[in-house]
Chains A and B, each alone.
Chain A
Amino acid sequence: MRITSARISQLFFLALFLFLFVITDYRGKDEITVAVNSFFRANPLVLASYVFAVKGFTLLLLPALLMTVFTLVLGRFFCGWICPLGTLIDLVTGWIPKTAPIRFLRGSFKYYLLFTLLVMAIFSVNVSGIFDPIAILIRALTFFFYPLLGHSTRAGWSGLYGLAGEGRDHVAFIYDFLRDYILPFRETFYPLAFLSLAIFLFVFVLERFEKRNWCRNLCPLGTLLGLLGRFSLFRRVPGRICKDCGECRQHCATAFDEEVLQTEGCIRCMQCRAKCRLERVGFPFKGKKGLLPATRPQEQPVMSKRILLGSVVAGFFLSKTFAFRNPERDHRLLRPPGVANEGDFLKKCVRCGECMKVCLRSALYPDLARAGITGMFMPVVIPRLGYCEYNCTLCGQVCPTGAIPRLPVEEKKKQVIGTAAIDKNICLPYAKKLNCIVCEEHCPIPDKAIRFETVNDIDYQGKKVTLKRPYIVDDLCNGCGICENKCPLEGRSAVEVFARKKT
Chain B
Amino acid sequence: MRRRDFLKVTLSSLVASQLPARVFAQTQGPTVAVAEGIDYAAITRKVIGAMGGMKIFVKPGNTVVVKPNMGWDRKPEYAANTHPVVVKTIVEEVLAAGARKVKVFDNTCNDPRRCYENSGIQAILKGMKNVDVRLVENDRFKKTAINGRFLKEWSLYNDALAADVFINVPIAKHHGLTGLTMGLKNMMGIMGDNRGYIHRSIEDALCDISSVVKSHLVIVDATRILTAHGPQGGNLKDVKVLNTVIASRDIVAIDAYTTTLFGMKPEDVSTTVTAYKRGMGEMNLNKIKVVKV
Complex contacts, B118 vs chain A, CB 8 Å:
391
Q: How far does the alpha carbon of A457 sit from the alpha carbon of B197 in the complex, in Å?
A: 21
Also in contact, A26 and B113, with CB within 8 A (given A391-B73, A436-B200, A490-B194): yes
B52 at the interface (CB under 8 A from A): no
| Contact status A158-B196, CB under 8 Å | no
B251 to chain A, nearest CB (A): 21
Q: Which of A361, A444, A447, A452 contacts B232 (CB under 8 A)?
A: A444
| Contact status B111-A441, CB under 8 Å | no
Q: Chain B 74-115 against A: per-residue CB contact (8 Å), 1 yes, 0 no?
A: 000000000000000000000000000000000001110110
Q: Which of B114, B199, B229, B234 contacts A436 (CB under 8 A)?
A: B199
Complex contacts, B233 vs chain A, CB 8 Å:
446
B178 to chain A, nearest CB (A): 10
| Contact status B196-A438, CB under 8 Å | yes
Q: How far does the alpha carbon of A447 sit from the alpha carbon of B233 in the complex, in Å?
A: 8
| Contact status B196-A436, CB under 8 Å | yes
B231 at the interface (CB under 8 A from A): yes
Complex contacts, A367 vs chain B, CB 8 Å:
none
| Contact status A452-B176, CB under 8 Å | yes
B281 to chain A, nearest CB (A): 23
Also in contact, A446 and B235, with CB within 8 A (given A390-B73, A437-B176): yes
A445 at the interface (CB under 8 A from B): yes
Complex contacts, A444 vs chain B, CB 8 Å:
110, 232, 234
Also in contact, A447 and B235, with CB within 8 A (given A26-B114, A391-B73, A441-B175): yes
Complex contacts, B109 vs chain A, CB 8 Å:
441-442, 486
| Contact status B229-A158, CB under 8 Å | no
Complex contacts, B201 vs chain A, CB 8 Å:
434
B283 to chain A, nearest CB (A): 20
Q: Chain A 139-161 against B: per-residue CB contact (8 Å), 1 yes, 0 no?
A: 00000000000000000001000
Q: How far does the alpha carbon of A428 sit from the alpha carbon of B202 in the complex, in Å?
A: 14
8 Å CB interface, B166-209 against A: 175-177, 194-197, 199-202
B5 at the interface (CB under 8 A from A): no
| Closest A residue by C-beta to B122 | A28
8 Å CB interface, A458-503 against B: 468, 486-488, 490
| Contact status A391-B114, CB under 8 Å | yes
B132 at the interface (CB under 8 A from A): no
A435 at the interface (CB under 8 A from B): yes
Q: Which of A158, A391, A432, A435 contacts B199 (CB under 8 A)?
A: A435
Complex contacts, A452 vs chain B, CB 8 Å:
176
Q: How far does the alpha carbon of A486 sit from the alpha carbon of B108 in the complex, in Å?
A: 12
| Contact status A445-B234, CB under 8 Å | yes
| Contact status A448-B177, CB under 8 Å | no
Q: How large is the interface on B (under 10, 10 to 19, 20 to 34, 35 or more residues)?
A: 20 to 34
A373 at the interface (CB under 8 A from B): no
| Closest B residue by C-beta to A391 | B73
Q: How far does the alpha carbon of A371 sit from the alpha carbon of B267 in the complex, in Å?
A: 54
Q: How far does the alpha carbon of A26 sit from the alpha carbon of B118 in the complex, in Å?
A: 13
Q: How far does the alpha carbon of A122 sit from the alpha carbon of B30 in the complex, in Å?
A: 77
Also in contact, A428 and B176, with CB within 8 A (given A360-B111, A361-B111): no
| Contact status B234-A435, CB under 8 Å | no
8 Å CB interface, A1-44 against B: 26, 28
Q: Chain A 419-450 against B: per-residue CB contact (8 Å), 1 yes, 0 no?
A: 00000000010001011111011101111100
B164 at the interface (CB under 8 A from A): no
| Contact status A447-B113, CB under 8 Å | no
Also in contact, A389 and B139, with CB within 8 A (given A437-B177, A448-B229): no
| Contact status B111-A488, CB under 8 Å | no
| Contact status A441-B177, CB under 8 Å | yes
Q: How far does the alpha carbon of A277 sit from the alpha carbon of B78 in the complex, in Å?
A: 73
Q: How far does the alpha carbon of A322 sit from the alpha carbon of B189 in the complex, in Å?
A: 49
Q: How far does the alpha carbon of A451 sit from the alpha carbon of B117 in the complex, in Å?
A: 29
8 Å CB interface, B110-156 against A: 110-111, 113-114, 117-118, 139
Q: How far does the alpha carbon of A444 sit from the alpha carbon of B115 in the complex, in Å?
A: 13
Complex contacts, B110 vs chain A, CB 8 Å:
389-390, 444
Q: How far does the alpha carbon of A389 sit from the alpha carbon of B117 in the complex, in Å?
A: 14
| Contact status A487-B199, CB under 8 Å | no
Complex contacts, A441 vs chain B, CB 8 Å:
109, 175-177, 199, 231-232
| Contact status B139-A158, CB under 8 Å | yes
Also in contact, A389 and B114, with CB within 8 A (given A441-B175, A441-B176, A452-B176): yes
A117 to chain B, nearest CB (A): 37
Complex contacts, A193 vs chain B, CB 8 Å:
none
B270 to chain A, nearest CB (A): 9
A69 at the interface (CB under 8 A from B): no
| Contact status A447-B229, CB under 8 Å | yes
Complex contacts, A158 vs chain B, CB 8 Å:
139
A289 to chain B, nearest CB (A): 58
A358 to chain B, nearest CB (A): 12
| Contact status A488-B176, CB under 8 Å | no
Complex contacts, B235 vs chain A, CB 8 Å:
446-447
4 nearest interchain CB pairs? Answer: A488-B196, A446-B234, A446-B235, A438-B196
Interchain Cβ contacts under 8 Å between A and B, 9 examples: A26-B114, A158-B139, A389-B73, A391-B73, A436-B177, A436-B200, A446-B235, A452-B176, A488-B195
Task: Knowing that A438-B199, A452-B176 touch, tell me 18 more A-B residue pairs with CB under 8 angstroms.
Answer: A28-B113, A360-B114, A361-B111, A389-B73, A389-B110, A391-B73, A391-B118, A392-B111, A392-B114, A434-B201, A435-B177, A436-B199, A437-B176, A440-B176, A446-B235, A446-B238, A488-B196, A490-B194
Mark B residues whose CB is within 8 Å of A: 73, 109-111, 113-114, 117-118, 139, 175-177, 194-197, 199-202, 229, 231-235, 238
Mark A residues whose CB is within 8 Å of B: 26, 28, 158, 185, 360-361, 389-392, 428, 432, 434-438, 440-442, 444-448, 452, 468, 486-488, 490
